Amino acid sequence: MLSVHEAIRIICEQTPTLPAEKIPLTEARGRVLAEDIIADTDLPPFDRALMDGYAVRAADTQNAPVRLRIVGEAAAGSGWRGTLDAGEAVRIMTGAPVPAGADSVQQIERTREGENGETIEIERATSPAQFIASRASEITSGSIVLRRGETTNAAMTAALASFGYANVSVGARPRATILATGSELVPVEETPGADKIRDSNSPSLAAYAELAGARVRRLPFAIDDPALLQKKIEESLQHTDVLVLSGGVSMGAYDFTKTALREIGAEIFFEQVSLRPGKPTVFARLGRTLIFGLPGNPVSVSVTFNLFARTALRRMQGANDPMLAEERAVLAHEVKGAVERTSYLPAQLRTDDEGRLLAEPLRWGGSSDLTAFARTTALIIVPQDVKTLAEKTVVRIVRLPG
Ligand code: AMP
Ligand code: MG
């Protein structure tokens, strides 16, 4: 059976990168950069005061306390244009350019103004460069600040703004269409009648797809009828980059998704992955649209979406890290593996008193246990054919987006 990593490799091979688009900086958070971000100025652009106080020559202050003559003022946004001579000081504010001739700043708390306001007593000696951020000490004009393929976050927004990126080039958001299947489903608004359940996959897939950066369209679910399902899938393929189906991919008498995909001429790349939960995952393509047929169990849906469909959606945007990143954590309780399948077991992360990251496997009743899954923040990876992993083992985990 295909391993998770082979499956992801096949998906990546079939996934095109969408064209870039320019968007306003205010909308850029969470988007994937389609251009390197280059500093268009030195930062700081001038020697900048880090404190309110007095710009002085350190040599003048070595026998502090010393009295210096105030010859001017430098404020943020308007510096003092002269050159400081021996025995002189310039009143300076945080963010103002340090005047020529000065090599240090003494903070106002360590000074005392003379009675006429014309002199200042520096109470303690300064050292050269004290309280000055020197020009280009953060970055030199022309350097790369952020790289194409990185996903922007709020912290990066300030850097983009500093270098004049009022508009920024990012990967276009892929269009994802969500179609749940199953004759047992009723919409969330309804109370399920006999033998029915609410459709939880459509809303949860929509949430995950949005987290993956997609523009999401949710369709009313389809019932398990081969002809109707085929028609619905064909309609769903219009104007979409990724179609995510849930349900109907197992071996049951009413599992029609694969048949429908074959009937409409989609190329099926795989229909099983050695994964628990999520073995009967289907990946196909028709024209330029990628199709994921995910097993209907709500937990399987969340795991397989985030391993497979998310990777495709992120890659379409040009992300250099499209897959969920693996990390390490310490197992809080023993877990069991599966024969011939890699397990991705729902877990909650927490930190213990020593600061170690612990993965607490959730007690769950199998791949349909939504209530336990609601507290999941990560998945513990148990390699295939490993019988058990003991408490305190260092394991690989992935964090679940959320
Ligand atoms: P299937 O993959 O169609 O065999 O479905 C597997 C299990 O998941 C069954 O118990 C279904 O009732 C359940 N299931 C399928 N689709 C959904 C859905 N959209 N929301 C909640 N449960 C579902
Ligand atoms: Mg079904």
Q: Whose CA is nearest to atom 23 of ligand 1?
A: 296
Residue-level pLDDT at 365 = 65
pLDDT class of 115 with cuts at 50, 70, 90:
confident
* Total Cβ atoms within 10 A of residue 289: 18
The pLDDT value given to residue 367 = 60
Question: pLDDT tens digits, residue range 66-90?
Answer: 999 999 999 999 999 999 999 999 9
**Least confidently predicted of 58-72, 104-118, 252-266, 352-366:** 352-366
Pocket of ligand 1 (CB under 6 A): 180, 182, 184-185, 197, 199-201, 246-250, 252, 255, 295-298, 368
- Residue 30 in any domain: the answer is no
pLDDT at 155 over 80: yes
Q: Is the residue at 189 inside a domain? A: yes
Shared domain for 143 and 118, answered yes or no, is no
The answer to whether residues 336 and 274 belong to one domain is no
Asked whether residue 363 carries a pLDDT value surpassing 90, the answer given is no
Tell me: do 289 and 380 sit in the same domain.
no
Report the Cα–Cα distance between both ends of the chain, in Å, rounded: 30
Q: What angle do CA 133, 166, 173 make, to 5 degrees?
A: 120
Residue 368 has pLDDT above 70, yes or no: no
For the chain, what is the mean pLDDT?
96
CA 72 from centroid of its chain's CA atoms: 48
Q: Is residue 28 part of a domain?
A: no
d(CA 52, CA 293): 62
Q: Which of 346, 279, 275, 281 is nearest to 312 (CA)?
A: 281
Model pLDDT for residues 47-68, shown as the tens digit of each residue: 999 999 999 999 999 999 999 9
User: 317 C-alpha vs ligand 1 centroid, how far in Å?
Assistant: 30
Of 309, 299, 307, 313, which is closest to residue 366 (Cα–Cα)?
Answer: 299
pLDDT of residue 129: 98
Q: State the pLDDT at residue 116.
A: 87
pLDDT tens figures, 288-324: 999 999 999 999 999 999 999 999 999 999 999 999 9
What is the Cα–Cα distance from 166 to 164, expressed in whole angstroms? 6
Count other C-beta atoms under 10 Å from residue 230's C-beta: 19
Q: Indicate whether 295 and 364 sit together in one domain.
A: no
Q: How confident is the model at residue 369 (pLDDT cuts 50, 70, 90)?
A: confident
Distance CA 383, CA 343 (A): 6
Structure tokens at 119: 């002199």
The residue from 105, 133, 161 where one domain ends is 133
Q: Is the pLDDT of residue 366 over 90?
A: no
pLDDT at 128 over 80: yes
In this structure, is residue 240 part of a structural domain? Answer: yes
Closest ligand 1 atom to residue 200 Cα is 20
pLDDT tens for 217-258 read 999 999 999 999 999 999 999 999 999 999 999 999 999 999
Q: In terms of domains, do 184 and 294 share one?
A: yes
The answer to whether 130 and 104 are in contact (CB under 8 A) is yes
Return the pLDDT at 370. Answer: 76
Residue 185, H or E segment: strand 185-186
Distance CA 95, CA 133 (A): 9
How far apart are alpha carbons 362 and 360 in whole angstroms?
6
Locate the DSSP E strands across 93-162.
104-107, 111-113, 119-122, 132-133, 144-146
Contacts for 210 with CB less than 8 Å, ≥ 6 apart: 216
Output the CA torsion sign for 306, 189, 245, 384.
Answer: positive
Do the domain assignments include residue 236?
yes
Residues 91 and 57 in one domain: yes
Long-range contacts of 183-188 (CB under 8 A, 24+ apart): 183/223, 183/224, 183/225, 183/254, 185/221, 187/220, 187/221
Among protein residues, the one with the nearest Cα to ligand 1's atom 15 is 296
> Over the Cα atoms of the chain, what is R_g?
30
Q: How many domains does the chain have?
A: 4
Q: Which residues surround ligand 2, an ion (CB under 5 A)?
A: 182, 247-248, 296
Whether the bond into 226 is cis, omega within 30 of 0:
no
**How would you class 347 by CB atoms within 10 Å of its CB: exposed for 0-12, middle for 13-18, buried for 19 or more?**
buried
Query: What CATH number did the domain enclosing 8 receive?
Result: 3.40.980.10
Cα 317 from Cα 298, distance rounded (Å): 26
Choose the residue to mutate in 183, 190, 297 for probing ligand 1, maximizing ligand atoms within 8 Å of C-beta. 297
Ligand 2 center to 371 CA (angstroms) = 20
Report, as an integer, the average pLDDT of 114-139: 96
Q: For residue 252, which ligand has an atom nearest its CA? A: 1
Whether residue 372 is predicted with pLDDT greater than 90 in this model: the reply is no
> Is 90 exceeded by the pLDDT of residue 396?
yes
pTM confidence score: 0.93
CATH code: domain of residue 109: 2.170.190.11
The answer to the question of residue 342 being in a domain is yes
163 - beta bridge partners? none
DSSP state of 255: -
pLDDT tens-digit readout, 19-58: 999 999 999 999 999 999 999 999 999 999 999 999 999 9
C-beta neighbour count of 104 within 10 angstroms: 24
Backbone angles phi, psi at 98, to 5 degrees: -75, 125
Q: Which domain holds residue 125?
A: 48-133
